[in-house]
């Protein structure tokens, strides 16, 4: 490969990564009418079709806890939070998850973060441990390097939250950021119903 071809290739890759428009080649992108999209509707499992939550499976490491199972957590409200420390959307949700844990942990809420890596560097237990420290996460976190728990839930998104009631049924499901008040209200109602 010649130096000129290498330089052009590097420039094209740089433009693709930054989203830059290449004059004369991508002018139609600059002239195009912007596409306005609305956010996808969040996923919610209807109360009438509650399904039993899958157990944690294929977990390579547990942080902040001994290994947990949903059978051990029966009688508790459980928030399962699928995340990975390299995902900005996941990081944006962490303050809300940690606040929810602080608010309800003494009332019967158990938060289990399921760290399912998207990229190879996220598979490192020491990197996950550093992320837990950086974000002040003290609730249990399961390292799901082989995506076995992810697959058991048929999960497709980072982040994703599943609220499991005291009987082990998924009563609420949400993918992405937001709906924090609704998550809080759902947890609060479940905990009040049991007291």
The token duo for 5 is 């071809």
pTM of the model: 0.75
Q: Closest by alpha carbon to 76, among 14, 17, 22, 140?
A: 140
Q: Mean pLDDT, to the nearest integer, of 34-44?
A: 37
Q: How many CB atoms lie within 10 A of CB 173?
A: 17
pLDDT tens profile 123-173: 999 999 999 999 999 999 999 999 999 999 999 999 999 999 999 999 999
Answer yes or no: is pLDDT of 116 > 70.
yes
Which run of H or of E encompasses 60?
Answer: none
**Gap between the Cα atoms of 74 and 140, Å rounded:** 16
When pLDDT is cut at 50, 70 and 90, the band that residue 50 belongs to is confident
Residue 36 vs residue 76, higher pLDDT: 76
């Amino acid at each position: 490969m010649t130096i000129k071809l290498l330089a052009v290739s590097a420039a094209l890759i740089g433009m693709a990564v930054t989203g830059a428009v290449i004059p004369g080649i991508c002018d139609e992108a600059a002239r195009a009418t912007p596409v306005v999209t609305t956010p996808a509707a969040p996923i919610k499992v209807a109360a009438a079709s509650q399904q039993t939550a899958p157990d944690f499976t294929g977990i390579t490491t547990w942080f902040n806890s001994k290994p947990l199972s949903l059978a051990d957590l029966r009688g508790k409200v459980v928030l399962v939070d699928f995340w990975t420390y390299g995902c900005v959307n996941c990081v944006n949700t962490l303050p809300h998850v940690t606040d929810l844990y602080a608010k309800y942990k003494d009332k019967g809420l158990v938060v289990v973060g399921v760290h399912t890596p998207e990229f190879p560097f996220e598979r490192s237990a020491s990197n996950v441990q550093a992320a837990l420290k950086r974000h002040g996460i003290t609730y249990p976190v399961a390292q799901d390097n082989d995506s076995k728990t992810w697959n058991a839930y048929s999960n497709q998104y980072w982040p994703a939250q599943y609220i499991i009631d005291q009987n082990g049924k998924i009563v609420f499901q949400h993918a992405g950021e937001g709906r924090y008040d609704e998550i809080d209200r759902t947890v609060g109602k479940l905990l009040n119903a049991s007291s």
